[in-house]
Chains A and B, each alone.
Chain A
């Protein structure tokens, strides 16, 4: 028999408690190496669409708020086009799409200020509801966790991804709650009651 000579993906390891040294040194208080931290914002001034702010925490299975979590977000522009390598064409030049978000060292709260993304097609052509993809790493997390933020004021019923979730009450863990005009709350629960849905993508 011939050999299937694919390489194996490098195994993941935890980001550890000192991830900020590498990924957000300025926010940690190590200035002077890089002019700015990467991923400060997923948009530039002039980005089209509804300005929104999402605030949340990451909580562990004992109910403790993580102070050392790091989240990255990736989203489409207001028309549902991804910046960079979207095969459908160019996105709003003022949307970079990617942000790197750290929990506050004291309170554990994180904030993402962005524009609400448009709808993006699923591989079969049906449209997914507006969402922001998240990747969550921290001390104690061995492999980055993939989840999504959806919005309670959008039509989420027809989203082919949310329809995949067999335990229907769990869909609620992916829906950001509107707290004021343009402001949402999205808490991530790693384990236990109200555990956030994480995807194998």
Chain B
């Protein structure tokens, strides 16, 4: 889909807002962080263009994690996770792919490397995907994931969280992040959360309970807006004619 928000150079990333690469509290980052400075480039056509996804590739239950594994309902606290994919100009980004993955209600992932004592739920796979609507809106139906322990410091537990992968209109907007839940006391203790240096940035990843979107006698709701890098709309680009 070609329109205004598909075009233009990307806003520069605020790398003081994002987590640094080298964050010793999160041990694995210590050997996986580049030590040399990033080479400053700015966006080119290679980052301003990006893959497109169609609504037709999405199955009817792809955004319903309660039913999409076996068709029988998963166990846990039923929630709607919803929000909009926006750019930094505040505009909804339509037709972009949002993918999520998470542990089950007990904090167990369906992954061969996860050997946590909490059992698998035979009716829960743990992934979902959808395409944003004309105003950038998206929604999933899922169960609230449990907290789980991980081998970092001896007694680290991840807060309840849902992983989110999102595309913009340009490959340079590609982002993976995690959504946390309002009021979870583990958020403040988590070394992965604390890779983010600014408290305001951490709060941008905490989804508030949204009673307006809850369905009585059925499920609760959490609202989570995802913001991707903006694109400049100036007519005064330093580009040669025809590029």
Which residues of A pack against B, CB within 8 Å?
Answer: 5-23, 25, 28-30, 32-35, 38-39, 60-62, 64, 66, 68, 72, 74, 76, 82-88, 96-98, 105, 120-125, 128, 131, 133, 135, 137-146, 148, 161, 164-165, 170, 190-192, 195-201
Q: B-side binding surface: helix, strand, loop or mixed? A: loop
B9 to nearest A CB, angstroms?
A: 7
* Cα of A120 to Cα of B193 in the assembled complex, Å: 38
Q: Inside 8 A of A60's CB, which chain B residues have their CB?
A: 31-32
Determine whether the beta carbon of B41 is less than 8 Å from that of A191.
no
Determine whether the beta carbon of A13 is less than 8 Å from that of B192.
yes
Q: List 8 A-B contacts (CB under 8 A).
A: A12-B175, A14-B195, A30-B126, A61-B30, A96-B51, A121-B45, A123-B42, A144-B176
Q: Inside 8 A of A142's CB, which chain B residues have their CB?
A: 18-21, 23, 26, 29, 33, 195
A3 to nearest B CB, angstroms?
A: 13
Whose C-beta in chain B lies nearest to the C-beta of A17? B113
Whose C-beta in chain A lies nearest to the C-beta of B3? A85
Determine whether the beta carbon of B32 is less than 8 Å from that of A10.
no
Q: B75 in the interface, Cβ–Cβ < 8 Å? A: no
Which residues of B pack against A, CB within 8 Å?
Answer: 1-2, 6-7, 9-15, 17-21, 23, 26, 28-36, 38-47, 49-53, 57, 59, 62, 68-70, 86-90, 97, 99-101, 109-114, 125-127, 129, 163, 165, 169-172, 174-178, 192-193, 195-196, 200-202, 204-205, 226-230, 237-240, 242-243
Q: Inside 8 A of A141's CB, which chain B residues have their CB?
A: 21, 29, 32-33
A47 to nearest B CB, angstroms?
A: 15
* Cα of A53 to Cα of B143 in the assembled complex, Å: 41
A58 to nearest B CB, angstroms?
A: 9
Whose C-beta in chain A lies nearest to the C-beta of B91? A7
A43 to nearest B CB, angstroms?
A: 13
Q: Inside 8 A of A161's CB, which chain B residues have their CB?
A: 41, 44
* Cα of A191 to Cα of B21 in the assembled complex, Å: 11
Q: Inside 8 A of A14's CB, which chain B residues have their CB?
A: 26, 29, 176, 192, 195
Tell whether A140 pairs with B177 under 8 Å between CB atoms, given A161-B41, A201-B172. no
Determine whether the beta carbon of B47 is less than 8 Å from that of A82.
no
Determine whether the beta carbon of A124 is less than 8 Å from that of B21.
no
Tell whether A123 pairs with B238 under 8 Å between CB atoms, given A10-B228, A142-B26, A146-B172. yes
* Cα of A201 to Cα of B173 in the assembled complex, Å: 10
Determine whether the beta carbon of B90 is less than 8 Å from that of A9.
no
